[in-house]
Amino acid sequence: MIDTDGDRADWAEHAEWHFPADPGAVRTARARVRKQLDAWGLDEVGDVTVLLVSELVTNSLRHATGPIGVRLVKPEDGTAPLLVEVSDPLPDPPRERSAEPDDEGGRGLQLVACSARRWGTRQGRTGKTVWFELSLPG
């Protein structure tokens, strides 16, 4: 199991999935995240959440060889942000880099940094977690 420690008392609900390090994981992660956000009534942040999860799962697939964990944590009240985590067994933190205009990759963490309220990484017992927070409408 991927280490996804980080629970806080003000989080009411969470959803968590684990995917094999397989290219189909990106599509499946997007679909599950969108479905969960819709169930929580958070479809207003669906597009950006799905985009950022897709980028982070893709990064994990490129660099890690083990399972990928995705977790959404819905705040208890509407004033706290939505927390999204993507974990993999590779202990090395990701590096944000500047992509050239013609580069086909290298923009994932830039998208996270520009779109999220906050983001970061943390080491776990069995790898790392890249997390981001999104402000909820209202």
User: What is the length of the chain?
Assistant: 138
In this structure, is residue 5 part of a structural domain? no
pLDDT mean over 97-103: 62
Domain count, the chain: 1
> CB under 8 Å to 111, separation ≥6 — which residues?
51, 52, 55
The mean predicted confidence, pLDDT, of the chain is: 85
Single pTM value for the model: 0.86
Q: Is 90 within the bounds of a domain?
A: yes
6 within some domain = no
On the question of pLDDT at 94 being above 90, the answer is no
Better-predicted residue by pLDDT, 3 or 133: 133
Phi and psi of 56, rounded to 5°? -70, -40
Largest CA-CA distance found in the chain, in angstroms, rounded:
45
Q: Among residues 99, 16, 106, 110, which one has the least CA distance to residue 63?
A: 106
**How do residues 31-85 score in pLDDT, each as one tens digit?**
999 999 999 999 999 999 999 999 999 999 988 888 999 999 998 876 789 999 9
Angle between helices 46-63 and 24-39 (to 10 degrees): 150
What is the rounded CA–CA span in Å between residue 88 and residue 136?
A: 26
Indicate which CATH number applies to the domain containing 64: 3.30.565.10
Domain of residue 53: give its range. Answer: 11-97+105-134
d(CA 74, CA 80): 9
